A and B are shown apart, each in its own frame.
Chain A
Amino acid sequence: MEKIKFVIDGKEVEAIRDQCVLDVARQNGIYIPGLCYNPEVKFSGGSCRLCLVEAHQAGRMSLVTACNYPIREGLEIKTDTSLVKRIRKGIIELLLARVPDSDVIKELAAEAGIDEPRFVKDEGENYHSKCIACGLCIQVCEEVVGVSAIAMLNRGPDKTPGTPYKKPSEVCIGCGACAYACPTDAIPMEDNGDTRKIWGREFKMHLCSVCGKPYIPEAQIDWIVKTTGKDRVFFDKCPDCR
């Protein structure tokens, strides 16, 4: 892997060619906000637009998303200019009007100096809970879990993740990866005794044979056994008791 140097906020930093700006910035302790990107998920990023930074290359400046902008020779990144702050603030205000209940967004708004959005807050029919429609849940389910139980329903302003036709999904294994990955904690998942509720379906949980803790949905065990050929006995004990 080819190592190259580039400049970020005036500092010369080393990176691997085509590595994304956000990863390297974070490794170097430079803060850039960003919600829809997860380094473990290949196709994530590019949607929330919170990680916009100035990229200066070949005498030209453009505003780019740090989470997928590839580092190449001669690149200079500025993360804290007035342009970056202005556009970021505009995006945060739009998100705040969409999901006024989200703590994550409220925090970003406070940081940017926004008290109240100048737009009518989405509520009633327009209520989005805390979902910013970034699509990370869908990518995780497809790419990491390999199940594709959820997809984007509708498009444009009505875009929202969900199970097909909003009916309980038959392929969902109840693993909850989507809920763990969600940057705004918008996916309701209820663990109650030996049942788990997610996406409108109830899953029976498997109990650890040692400590008795419900720790994994039966459906997930079935899935793992089916796709990897792992011995079912392996799941008798929870990771803590193994």
Chain B
Amino acid sequence: MATPVLEKTEPAGSASAASPYITVTFRIRRFNPEVSAEATWQDFQIEIDPKERVLDGLHKIKWDLDGSLTFRRSCAHGICGSDAMRINGKNRLACKTLIKDINPEKPITIEPIKGLTVLKDLVVDMEPFFQAYRDVMPFLITKDTNEPTRERLQSPEDRERFDDTTKCILCAACTTSCPVFWNDGQYFGPAAIVNAHRFIFDSRDDAAEQRLEILNDKDGVWRCRTTFNCTDACPRGIEVTKAIAEVKRALITRRL
């Protein structure tokens, strides 16, 4: 669906020979039920330094061209998990993706992450995602009746055992890149399993059994078909598929 292309409003001089700026087209999936029940594509042309982030491009559009463009963001350097979106068909954080790394010659397509209800433009309803997270009991559970006065001891090796899954920033890039989740929103999804893994393999925790039982559910780990989309999508470099496999293995060995 064709929509008007907005003219650039970059500072004068940006076209000079020494300028690092290039012209890039952002093709953005727009949706605002206050305006129309249908989603449309809209093109924006901006002048941008290819070393800048996709998030910088979105800001240029919002700040200089169209204030109604809506997306979430906060930290702008990949640690808060606000701005997962589908960029050229892949889930990424807009603040961790540089223009030069995604072929700016062609229009850059930007859509909301898939499988969650779109509320406006790139903003989706994250509640089902967080509900799945909360359902795996993502907190330390210990049996000791009287609290120790000092810290619980944990060896560096035991600490290392679950290090990878502590890095999760709950951005949902993994879960919303998973074909199983797209087909059936009831599936817990990789992020919830990653966060269960973080406690199941923590030597201080005593509730692995309960969490494994939750994930043994029909909507649990067994739905995973090991497509590795989640691992590819994770901006924190977490080996998501491996974590899921370890949870599966724990379920099997537990039963043996």
Is B a genuine binding partner of A? no
